[in-house]
Copies of this chain bind each other. A is one copy, B any other.
Amino acid sequence: MTLIRDARPEDWPAVWAFAAPIVASGEHFVWEADTPEERLRAYWIEKEAPASAIVAVVGEGSAGDGTPGGRVAGIAEIHPNQPGRGSHIANAGFMVDPAVRGQGLGRALGEAAIARAKADGYTAMQFNAVVATNTRAVDLWHSLGFRTLAVLPATFRHPVQGLVGMHLMFREL
């Protein structure tokens, strides 16, 4: 059972436990492997309105109140893609613990982020940097109604595959 709830500052250690290896791999996000934990914590969890963050809690009970039995295994953050006259478009980021891959957490977080963004008044969601080799993510977003408006050529330095493209994705809400 998976529960989606608002992220709290005290969720960070659980998030960092699976986020650190993901960032260190250099395969999915632009951050360098030596990006300070503080910076990533600020990005993912220290959100101020209108930005927000949600987590996926898995495991027995999946208690949303922090009691034992649940484990934070995924996170999504939502923020305006532009300030001011572009602030009605949401941007979002997602990370899921590879240990629970295939259990639908990414999809659950994606659906929840779409619903949250819509509830918060955004009219569309835009992703600027979905690494093309991350086909799991590309396929997930397509299945959730996102269109690839463009593949930005050779914009990501993949540690194994070299220069690869990034998808610019868009979905009305």
Chain A positions within 8 Å of B, measured between CB atoms, are 26, 29-32, 35, 81-89, 123-124, 126, 128-129, 149-150, 152-158, 166, 168, 170, 172
Contact = CB atoms under 8 A, between A and B. Distances in A.
B129 A86 contact: yes
Nearest to A26: B85
A123 B154 contact: yes
Q: Which of A82, A83, A149 has the most CB of B within 10 A?
A: A82
Given A88-B155, A128-B128, A149-B150, 6 more contacts: A30-B86, A31-B84, A86-B157, A126-B155, A149-B152, A150-B150
Assembly stoichiometry (copies): 2
- The A interface, classified by DSSP as helix, strand, loop or mixed, is strand
B170 A152 contact: yes
Contact of A30 (B85, B128, B150): B85
B85 A158 contact: yes
Nearest to A123: B154
Given A149-B168, A150-B150, A156 B85 contact: yes
B126 A88 contact: no
24 contacts: A29-B84, A30-B85, A30-B86, A30-B87, A35-B83, A82-B129, A85-B156, A85-B157, A85-B158, A86-B129, A86-B156, A86-B157, A88-B155, A88-B157, A89-B152, A123-B154, A126-B152, A126-B155, A149-B149, A149-B150, A149-B152, A149-B168, A150-B168, A152-B170
A84 B28 CA distance: 12
